[in-house]
Amino acid sequence: MGLHLVLGDDAVLISEAVSATVDELVGEGDRGLMLEILSETEYKNDEGGYDPLRLIDAARTPPFLTEKRVVVGRHVSRFSRKDDYGPLVKMLEEPLDTTDLVLVWEKGIEPKVDKMPALPKALKEAIEVAGGVTIKTSAGRGKEAGVWLRDQLGQSTLDFDRAAVAALEDLLGDESGRLVGIVRTLEGALGQGATVTVADVETYGGSEKGGTVPWALDDAIDSGNIGEALELLTRLIPYDGAPTDRNGAAFRLMATLHRRYSNMLRLDGAGVGSDKQAAELLGMKGSTFPAKKAMQQSRKLGTEKLARAIELLATADMQLRGTVDWPSELVMEVLVARLASLSARR
């Protein structure tokens, strides 16, 4: 049995680590047959407490039509008492060779746990004896946080100059989980191998000046929520009396949108059936989440609407370059409203 323990207190960083671990364990296999994910909802018993038996049963279930199964147990911190984690310890002493098990020690959701209980020593030792791999997602504090940040940036496809790293440190503060979304946004906007500057961090990082990040705008457009999309847009390209800055922000946002819809168009009719296949087709490295989002929206829009989106983007790009006497924020407002309307139509 392959065994992984994911530890942390930041939901975004934990989800990223779990996703990467599952991708590695499943590989090219059929997720529908191989993968089972359990959360605290499945652990609840008739008395309103939490019972690990469902997780244990899943870990001991033989595979069907596959060589192995991958079982993910989220919110395992619900089993912090000896009576609860004892059966888990016993299970780890007699593992099933055909199961890869991922245990995630994280805060519960309902009711929300303010302080996560410590990992019991007996469970920690049982995982170590079973040859488990521990994945710590915490960024730490002080120098440790700085080392963590540089390590994460080093794993991206981008090159961050020294000033950009310092700007990210100031921007993130204690919210390390925001780094995941910011790096994804920068990779999508600038392309692999690009050098990231302070200006890029300010534009795409949701700085105090802008107050949001482009992937939040993507979600609003994808859902067809025109009002929310326009509200988010005003924070990405705020009016501050500096036309040159606004034009630059508009062009950078235009590049992000164009790249995203171009990816959707490439996936349209490509026959990809998984996040990993979509990421390979698009040449994306690291997390497959951006590819998954592009694949889902590509299927939702279809060929005709995707072609219309590319046409709208091309028109707006020409308008930003002077074919109409409009301020850049108006050009982008019209574009965003039209893109969102494509998603809203039945």
The helix/strand/coil state of 237 is coil
Percent with pLDDT over 90 in the chain? 30
Between 1.10.287.1260, 2.40.30.110, 3.40.50.2000, 1.20.272.10, what CATH number should domain 147-344 receive? 1.20.272.10
Q: What is the pLDDT of residue 175?
A: 72
The helix (H) or strand (E) run that includes residue 35 is strand 35-38
Q: What is the pLDDT of residue 240?
A: 43
Same fold, 3-136 and 147-344: no
pLDDT digits (tens, 9 = 90+) for 70-99: 999 999 999 988 888 999 999 999 888 999
Rounded CA separation 129/3 (Å): 11
Q: What is the pLDDT of residue 335?
A: 92
Identify the band that residue 210 occupies on the pLDDT scale cut at 50, 70 and 90: very low
Percent with pLDDT over 70 in the chain? 88
The closest alpha carbon to 298, from 334, 333, 272, 332, belongs to: 272
Contact (Cβ atoms closer than 8 angstroms) between residue 95 and residue 129: no
pLDDT digits (tens, 9 = 90+) for 231-258: 888 777 754 444 444 456 787 788 888 8
Q: Which residue has the higher pLDDT, 38 or 31?
A: 38
Sequence spans of domains, the chain: 3-136, 147-344
Write the class of the CATH domain 3-136: alpha beta
Task: Tell me the DSSP string of 160-218.
Answer: E-HHHHHHHHHHHTT-TTHHHHHHHHHHHHH-TTPEE-HHHHHHHTT-TTT-S-HHHHH
pLDDT digits (tens, 9 = 90+) for 121-143: 999 999 999 999 998 887 777 77
pTM of the model: 0.57
